[in-house]
Structure 1
Amino acid sequence: MAQDTEQKIFEAARAIFHERGYHGARMQEIARRAGINQSMLHYYFRTKDSLFEAVFQATAREVLGPVMAVLREDLPFPEKLDRFVETYLRQIAAHPHAPAFILQELNHHPDRLKAFAARLGTGLFERWAADVEAAVARGEIRPVAPAHLLADMLALCAFPFIARPMLQAVTGFDDDAYRAFLAGRKDDVLRFLHQALAP
């Protein structure tokens, strides 16, 4: 029973924090959505900060954990590129509010992601950079800065989710049309990246 109550609180908090961020969320609203009173909420999570930290870490783990794991895999570079895009888009599709939520909170508290990355282990970017440089040396891709390539991959995947209201306003897509647009995103991003990286 206690575990169920804690999970209900967590899910209510995750929905509200994802929609409104830390500053827009209210503990009273979280309690109401979880179907409990505020004292019960404070019994399980003493402060808004502790509840937010739990939500942030879970979101980062669910969305970014599998993506970071791909960067560690020992794969041929073209396959690693494909796996990264496929994994990131799959994780974002399952948690569509997560990219904007993570980005917004990192602007206020950049150390949150550093702490998360440290728990997963160090040397992640160095491993990625070595993979990119080796692929360049083998003639598989054109010379490219590893940091720029990583930024391009992240942006191409996340931007349509972060900027959905703006893109729907510009394109005139209704929700069904936008879902179809997102469904075709993986093939389009991979085609774009492979063409851009061709030696």
Structure 2
Amino acid sequence: MSNQTKKEQTQELIKETAKNLFFVKGKFDATTQEIADEAGVNRTLINYYFRSRDNLIQIIFDEAQKVEKEKSNVIQRSDLPFKEKISKFIESSLSTSLKYPYLETYIVSQMNKGNCHEKDIEKEMLEDLYKSIEEEMDQGNIEKMKPVQFLFNMVALLVFPSALRPLLMDNLRISDEEFDVIISERKEIILNILFKK
């Protein structure tokens, strides 16, 4: 194996380990030493490859935003009927929640610290989305409300359980495996709440 390949593999291992600590385990304050220990590498390698913990976090943050952007593209770039678009978005969001339960919480925590966040939806596309929601309401497929309320409902139904995962698991006595099953079952439930038909 070439030195370049080994270097790339080590960098990827460190990034994946940090993602796992932040997005899967919710340990946002993990230190460089904790990341190194979890990855089974020397701490100096993190500084060697990424210059600093902050730089590693920025790279991970950028990748997290890319995941969010890809989810939004399902709604923005597709010619599917509106309900199918929303269905695909929900599916994509739930699958991301299963893979990275703390992703959204992490992005919000970084935004609260003043770190840059790229908007997932362009202004014109948001206006088109609101228009589509209003058309669905006029056709009787969705309860009448401000379009932004429809989006709030959808996001709340999608994100809230994962954002409160440890609290819900503890209070409702749900294991990790059971929680994952419950999340994977939510697509039809959410669609039935959002759409009248």
TM-score range, shorter chain: 0.7 to 0.9
Distance 1:29 1:151, change over 3 A: same
Q: Unpaired segments of 5 or more residues in structure 1?
A: none
Distance 1:189 1:35, change over 3 A: same
Instruction: Tell me whether 76-85 or 134-143 shows the greater mean CA deviation.
Output: 134-143
Within 5 Å, give how 1:149-168 maps onto structure 2.
149-168=150-169
* Cα offsets for 1:92-140 (capped at 9, x unmatched): 112222122223222223x532x263xx755332231122123234444
Which of 71, 77, 81 in structure 1 is aligned with 2:75? Answer: 71
Does the alignment pair 1:20 with 2:21? no
2:98·2:180 contact (CA, 8 Å) conserved in 1? Answer: no
Give distance in 1, aligned partners of 2:172 and 2:22.
Answer: 28
TM-score normalised over the length of structure 2: 0.83
Give distance in 1, aligned partners of 2:96 and 2:192.
Answer: 20
Within 5 Å, give how 1:104-115 maps onto structure 2.
104-109=109-114, 112-113=116-117, 115=118
* Cα offsets for 1:153-172 (capped at 9, x unmatched): 11101111111222223323
Does the alignment pair 1:86 with 2:87? no
Give distance in 1, aligned partners of 2:119 and 2:14.
Answer: 22
Q: Give the aligned partner of residue 39 of structure 2.
A: 34
Matched AA of 1:71: I
| Percent identity (aligned) | 28
Q: Number of residue pairs matched?
A: 189
Matched AA of 1:136: M
Distance 1:116 1:42, change over 3 A: farther
TM-score normalised over the length of structure 1: 0.82
Root mean square deviation, CA, Å: 2.2
Q: Give the aligned partner of residue 186 of structure 2.
A: 185
Does the alignment pair 1:43 with 2:68? no
1:99·1:162 contact (CA, 8 Å) conserved in 2? Answer: yes
Give distance in 2, aligned partners of 1:178 and 1:16.
Answer: 19
